[in-house]
Structure 1
Amino acid sequence: MYGRGLINGDFVLISGDTISNMSLKEVLQEHKDRRKKDPLAVMTMIIKHSKPSILMHQTRLGTDEIVMALASETKELLYYEDRADSSHLCVTIDKDILANNPTLQLHNNMEDCYIDICSPDVLSLFTDNFDYQHLRRHFVKGLLVDDIMGYKIYTHEIHSSYAARIDNFRSYDAVSKDIIQRWTYPMVPDVLSFGNCHEMKLHRQGIYKASDVTLSHSAQIGANSVIGNATSIGEQCKILNSVIGEGCSIGKNVLIHGSYIWDNVIIEDGCKVSNSLVCDDVHLRAGAIVEPGCILSFKIKVGKNVVVPAYSKVSLLDKPSNEDSDEELEYADTNSGVTDSAPFSSTRGNADHPTIVSEDDELGASETCTSGVLGYIWASGDTGILEEWRQSIAPIPKEKLQELQHAVSVDGDVGSEEDLNNRPSEADRDNDSEIGVIEDDDYTKFEKEVEETFQRAVDGVHQDNLILEINALRCKLVSFPLMLSYSLQHADCAGAVFYSIMRAALVAAQSTNDSLLKSTADALTKWKDLLRNYTKTVDEEMEILLKFEEMCQEITKEFSPLFSKILPYLYDKEIVSEVAILRWAEEKENADEPDKVFVKQSDVFIQWLKEAEEEDEDDEEEE
């Protein structure tokens, strides 16, 4: 394009696997204005806030955390590293950067959206450096260390808009869930299909169904699921948190959880598919089990009662033995290795060794043996097989989370979970000159990180694993005494977790109060045990009530008219106790009128609690 002169002005460079709903108007104008003042400003990168997991040092998209150094005032990019030394939790920055910039911002909480505004100079730079294989590791880092040309890269952070790149299976899963939960609006299933002959409609709990779906009365469709056109689902099936494409045939007693089933797939009776991706025209015979993390490529056939082990990748094509393609060079951690055998050691048939069969063989023809799988297993390399979970659709295994949490605890030299849960006394906090109470901005950051942790784990992850993540986050914060430090209390965790749950309920609901109430009840039922883990005292229960008040007044006013209806539900589910509710109401007696709004709204329920308490006291006196 450069040689032909097809591009003469500024242009947008975007990865083909990026999805975004942002408007480019503001950043384009910002880039042009900057270019007028400084012709060396050749690129503006789009970035967004995305706190990486402190356990894995990667984002919810499965990519490595990025360390960026930015000039505080101009937002010029001074340093970029997408493979930081996470084992030592350190980075090395050239001393000249520090010498030339009195102040700079060092971030590991930014995500590269792979959307760039470029000047025509970028084309000539690519021509001069034709051996560049990776836009960031080679081109961007090359410009940053080039003192001769003096070209500069700037950043533009987006806040309310959505942008994400899908370059591994975990990001495919994360972005798909974001689309279903409408973070990418207007790029959501019902809007994109509007006006088509097979229009997709949004139902309660984030369920999307096409107009021509055959659904058995006994089948169960769970929240955040999509069912495509001309798909039939048999009796006693459970489709949970999954996407089913067009023209699929699903038999009886099938369980599909956290998975993506593409078009024209046949799944016979009694099959189970967990946290996997099944491509077009795959055929699962009766009783087949696909364990978490599997990828079944196009036209794969799985025999009767075969168990496909976790993290298997099966294709009709051999895995290439060379890694010379542009894609392989771009992603240095791509695994290698070829196998033409099926290393399946676990089946539910009588055969000792399932085999790969030819296309002429009939899978599942015998009632007494398992015929196996039609396809090649793409084996991982020597080092890759241990890291499959990092970029998999499947949730992170609990044992791996525990291992990572232990590593974080050792690195941070922090105490046990029990030590963390013991709050310091007021005297301890008053006598410590370096450790004060949490500032509002600090708590907001902590609350945001808890919400992001909750969002990463909300789909198909056991609550114990989520508790490990949140506790690890708290451990990490405690290990930095000049930041949030020991003033971070258990009640703060309770408020942050409650906020995250209620935000998720709001996203899942439709526009009506009834829908929001139903969505909230479902969310609190699902996550009540998680909340109870952080509400073991009356003070912590009161933090839930105070946080709910704050949300209704400031952040999520949609809950305001429903406060008096949700409060009894919190009580019934034993999230907050009678003592906490009555103490909260008592403390509001002398408050200003605006602070009494929700106490008055809940007056009937509070009076009922008081009368019940008096009756209990009378019964005790009689005894």
Structure 2
Amino acid sequence: MALKKGQRTSSDDPEELARTPLQALLLADSFAQKFRPITLERPKVLLPLVNAPMINYTLAWLESVGVEEVFVFCCAHAQQVKDYLDGSDWVKHPSAFSVTTIESHDSISAGDALRFVYNHGVIRGDFILITGDTISNMSLTQALQEHKERRKKDPHAIMTMVIKRSKPLPQLHQTRLGTDEILMGIDPETKELLYYEDKADRSRRLITLDKSLLADNPSLILHNDKEDCYIDICSPDVLSIFTDNFDYQHLRRHFVKGLLVDDVSGYKIFTHEIQSSYAARIDNFRSYDTISKDIIQRWTYPLVPDILYFGSRTPMKLQRQGILKAPDVILSHSARIGPYSSVGSGTSIGDNSVIMNSVIGDCCTIGRNVSIHGSYIWDNVVIEDGCKLSHALVCDGVHLRSGVVLEPGVILSFKVEVGQNIVVPAYSKVSLLPQPSTQDSDEELEYADASSGVVESPSITSMGNAGNFDQTAVSSDGEKLDNSEVGISGVGYIWSNSDGGNEEEWRYSIASITAEKIMEYCNEAYDDHDASDHDLSIPQSGELAHDSESTGFDEGDGEDYRDTYSKFEKEVEETFQRALGGVHEDNLVLEMNALRLSYDKSHLDCAGAVFYSVMRSALAAAQSSNSNLIQTTNEVIDKWKGFLGKYIKSEDEQFEVILKFEEMCQETAKEFSPLFATILHRLYDKDIITEDAILSWAMEKEGADESDKIFVKQSEAFITWLKEAPEEDEDEDEDD
């Protein structure tokens, strides 16, 4: 539906605001190049996510939270987006939920998009700003109410950002979604955002802050355990601010950070943290993999493939072990589909083929003796006999001849054909389109020729050729082949070099991160460390508690920064050590509660810190007396189980304790590592950790990297026993 520029209505009139329907602005453009070469041919929001276009998940959520009008901004491949929406139920069957496209021919950033929308005058009140690659099942009621109440008291409160807790991977300073660790400074009372850094230098151990930030905000808490969900509740002023500031291009790096340092305008941004709900953005191939697994494991319920949110799509049937399968799948008797896999309509799978933790699209033909593990196969793909695919992504129309091997991280774009017995090296990207000889310097920009729908970059004057011997494949016997022998039909190009040496290739790919890669990265980061030019330094791990006199590490302890813990945890441990000297448990509880309140910590934080202190005391006792560690630990757990029970009550707190124990075994108390399963069983026997928490932990680890599944595998027998024990009890009851 085409839009005309219209007269904007005043957003200050209370009666007008009361009549204004809840609106949303959905950005269908990613304004980035992280999904190339795929997005050279299809817009990111139309890429399949567990067999449904990404944008459908976003639209389904917007409808579920009461949004009445959605304006979909599109530029790159705009015609594809418009054609899809025009043919979908979102537009074909008008209801209280309307979807309208706004097309731009020359916007190259999110800032340009918001300025373009502002000039159309369609936003009449507070609105939801979201990208079309965001998946959520959260309720918006509380966040929207908080935003409106703040707006009534303070018209400068122009935006509320949705955030959630997300523990970074300590070695890589990135989340499980592959996004960089974010540092946020938040007022714990008002929830106002005071500091935001999403591009911290990961090679440095310390973060530099302006001293005035702490001086002006004594209650500030710095967090590195928060994830930006890219769901914003905005006032109309947000659009006008972009119009007044043409240098604002990126929503966070320019707009948010710009407002936070603007002392003149007085505009404020607040946060709303969700707890048990789901919200995540697909920013790169790793987050595509992670969110796909989350959907299959039903963390996004009710936005799951077996519930028909997405129009006339063929219904999927949920089977045991989280397997999703269309009713017309042709499956050989000797073929096997493993847990948490999805197979689309019209697909056939041949003899002795195995599909594990993978998503297979519609109308695919998979031959005999094919192995597919942790991979994503889109529609109309042909995979001949004997192929092996591991953590790869294969787009529509690809044809793999017999014996092809796709190593981890491989991306095959649309209609690529690979010849017999070819091994495509890890992290390679293969496309029928040539690789640009130069990349745009600003990752924010994705250019579009709106008339043709083909993405182009004005800075590119020449294209890479397929004859470069740095871009090669190898045969199954390890011999290098030039591209004329690779077996890729037409004018296929291998974009990436064979060793995946570029950091972007492995950190953000769908391939599991190996221990070798982690060690290599950590060594490089340590070698590059230089903190001599920092005036005020904040550790990247943990939080800076308000009223704290310390703003950095205790350099005298000699421990590596990855093995240190926050000042709060140190004080919890010191308090617990005093209790070992004779402090009564009731007084200990009072001191712990006082510490939690003074540092404004959550119950989850307290649960982890208390458990840490108890386990450290067991380790110290065993070492000092040269006694058996498991026996000493059991005695300590028995003695302090009542105290632990005061802080480890909910399933979330129990889950946090298991994660904390994993972290200890890997970093600060490695002596516990071989005893993890035994101690976990003891915690279960003493009713400190419940069956539900242990099974939830095991389920979440299903899609994790191999390096993050060490203790799940160690506990495999115990977990199996937990799963089977209820069935045995039921059998006994029936016998009685």
Matches within 5 A, 1:162-177: 162-177=278-293
Query: Secondary structure of the residue that 1:179 maps to in structure 2?
Result: helix
Match of 1:392 in 2: 509
Question: Could you tell me how far apart the structure 1 residues matched to 2:255 and 2:374 are?
Answer: 37
**Residue among 462, 466, 475 paired with 1:340:** 466
1:61 aligns with 2:177: yes
Change (3 A) 1:13 1:294: same
What are the residue-to-residue correspondences of 1:130-169 with 2, within 5 Å?
Answer: 130-169=246-285
Aligned partner of 1:543 in structure 2 is: 683
8 Å CA contact 2:347, 2:363 repeated in 1: yes
* Deviation of 1:338 (Å): 3.5
Q: Report % sequence identity.
A: 53
- Conserved in 1, the CA contact under 8 Å of 2:297 and 2:322? yes
Question: How far off its partner does 1:544 sit?
Answer: 4.1
Match for residue 118 of structure 2? Answer: 2
Residue matched to 1:378: 495
Q: Is the 8 A contact 1:306 1:349 kept in 2?
A: no
Aligned length: 489
Deviation at 1:147, TM superposition (A): 0.7
Alignment partner for residue 266 of structure 1, among 368, 379, 382? Answer: 382
Residues 51-60 or 12-21, more deviating: 12-21
C-alpha contact 1:43 1:118 (8 A) present in aligned 2:
yes
Deviation of 1:3 after TM superposition, in Å, equals 2.5
Instruction: Verify the 8 A CA contact 1:41 1:153 in the aligned structure 2.
Output: yes
Partners of 2:678 and 2:507 in 1: how far apart? 39
Partner AA of 2:506 in structure 1: W
- Please give the alpha-carbon distance, in whole angstroms, between the structure 1 residues aligned to 2:167 and 2:696: 27
Deviations 1:227-265 (A, max 9, x none): 000000000001000000000000000000000000000
Q: Are the equivalent residues in 2 in contact too, given 1:339–1:379 (CA < 8 A)? A: no
Partner of 2:369: 253
Deviation at 1:101, TM superposition (A): 1.5
- CA–CA distance in structure 1, aligned partners of residues 502 and 412 of structure 2: 17
Amino acid at match of 1:119: S
Q: Does the residue aligned with 1:346 lie in a helix, a strand or coil?
A: strand
- The one-letter amino acid paired with 2:209 is I
- Contact kept, 8 Å, 1:51 with 1:449, in 2: the verdict is no
Using the TM superposition, give the Cα deviation of residue 5 of structure 1 relative to its aligned residue in structure 2, in angstroms: 2.3
CA distance 1:210–1:81, shift in 2 (3 Å): same
State the secondary structure of the residue aligned to 1:155.
strand
SS in 2 for 1:2: helix
**2:690 partner amino acid:** M
> Which residues of 2 match residues 4-403 of structure 1 at below 5 A?
4-192=120-308, 196=312, 198-324=314-440, 328-329=444-445, 338-341=464-467, 343-348=471-476, 353-356=481-484, 371=487, 375-379=492-496, 385-403=502-520
Structure showing greater relative contact order (alpha-carbon pairs closer than 8 Å, 6 or more residues apart): 2
Partner of 1:189, secondary structure, is coil
Match of 1:586 in 2: none
Q: Residues 354-413 of structure 1: CA distance to partner in whole angstroms, max 9, x if unpaired?
A: 4247xxxxxxxxxxxx64565112237999724411001000022123445678999995
RMSD of the TM alignment (CA)?
4.7
One-letter code aligned to 2:686? L
> Whole-Å Cα distance in 2 between the matches of residues 255 and 557 of structure 1?
28
Tell me the distance in 2 between the aligned counterparts of 1:316 and 1:308: 15
CA–CA separation in structure 2 for the residues paired with 1:47 and 1:398:
30
Q: Alpha-carbon deviations, 1:50-71, whole Å to 9, x = none? A: 0110010001110000000011
| Distance in 2 separating the partners of 1:104 and 1:326 | 32
SS in structure 1 opposite 2:222? strand
Separation of aligned partners in 2, 1:190 and 1:326: 40
Partner of 1:364: none
**Cα separation, partners in 2 of 1:384 and 1:116, compared to 1, 3 Å:** farther
- Which letter does structure 2 place at the counterpart of 1:542? R
Contact 2:500 2:506 in 1 (8 A): no
For structure 2, list consecutive stretches of 5 or more residues without a partner in the other structure: 1-116, 448-456, 530-556, 563-573, 620-628, 638-643, 657-669, 698-712, 720-725
State how 1:448-527 maps to structure 2 within 5 Å. Answer: 486-487=616-617
* Cα distance, 1:350–1:74 mapped onto 2, change above 3 Å: closer
1:7: Cα distance to partner?
1.4
Using the TM superposition, give the Cα deviation of residue 551 of structure 1 relative to its aligned residue in structure 2, in angstroms: 1.4
Look up the SS of the partner of 2:120 in the other structure: coil
Q: Retained in 1: the 8 A contact 2:135–2:279?
A: yes
Paired residue type of 1:285 = R
Q: In structure 2, how many angstroms separate the alpha carbons of the residues matched to 1:537 and 1:19?
A: 34
Q: Report the Cα distance in structure 1 between the residues aligned to 2:464 and 2:221, rounded to whole angstroms.
A: 45
Kept after mapping to 2: 8 A contact 1:227/1:243:
yes
Q: Secondary structure at the match of 1:91?
A: strand
Distance 2:120 2:281 in 1: 30
> What letter corresponds to residue 483 of structure 2 in structure 1?
T
Aligned equivalents of 1:260 and 1:22: distance in 2? 26
Which one-letter code corresponds to 2:502 in the other structure?
I
Local SS of the residue matching 1:137:
helix
106-115 vs 78-87, which moves further? 78-87
Which residue of the partner structure matches residue 523 of structure 1? none
Counterpart Cα distance in 2 of 1:297 and 1:249: 17
Q: Which amino acid aligns with 1:389?
A: W
Contact 2:399-2:415 at 8 Å conserved across structures: yes
Output the CA distance in 2 between the equivalents of 1:572 and 1:27: 40
Asked if 2 retains the 8 angstrom alpha-carbon contact of 1:194 and 1:200, the reply is: no
Alpha-carbon shift at residue 30 of structure 1 (Å): 1.1
Q: 1:385 to 1:111 in 2, by over 3 A?
A: same
Structure 2 residue identity aligned to 1:394: A
Matched AA of 2:466: D
The amino acid across from 1:311 in the alignment is: Y
Moved more, 382-391 or 24-33: 382-391
Q: Which one-letter code corresponds to 1:546 in the other structure?
A: K
Going from structure 1 to structure 2, the CA distance change for 1:531 and 1:286 (only over 3 Å counts) comes to farther
d(CA) in 2 for partners of 1:69 and 1:190? Answer: 40
Deviation at 1:110, TM superposition (A): 0.3
- CA offsets 1:505-556 (integer angstroms, 9 cap, x no match): xxxxxxxxxxxxxxxxxxxxxxxxx999543797665234225x6415x968
Give me the whole-angstrom Cα distance separating, in 2, the residues matched to 1:83 and 1:572.
Answer: 37
| Amino acid paired to 1:346 | V
Residue 212 of structure 1 and its aligned partner are, at CA, apart by 0.6
CA distance in 1, matches of 2:696, 2:677: 28
Give the 3 Å change call, closer, same or farther, for CA 105–388 of structure 1 in structure 2.
same
**Cα deviations by residue, 1:111-155 (Å, 9 ceiling, x for unpaired):** 000011111111111111223221100110000111111111000
Aligned partners of 2:411 and 2:429 also within 8 Å: yes
- Partner residue, 1:471: none
Query: Partners of 1:443 and 1:179 in 2: how far apart?
Result: 28
Structure 1: gaps spanning 5 or more residues: 358-369, 418-423, 451-473, 505-529, 560-569, 577-597, 605-623
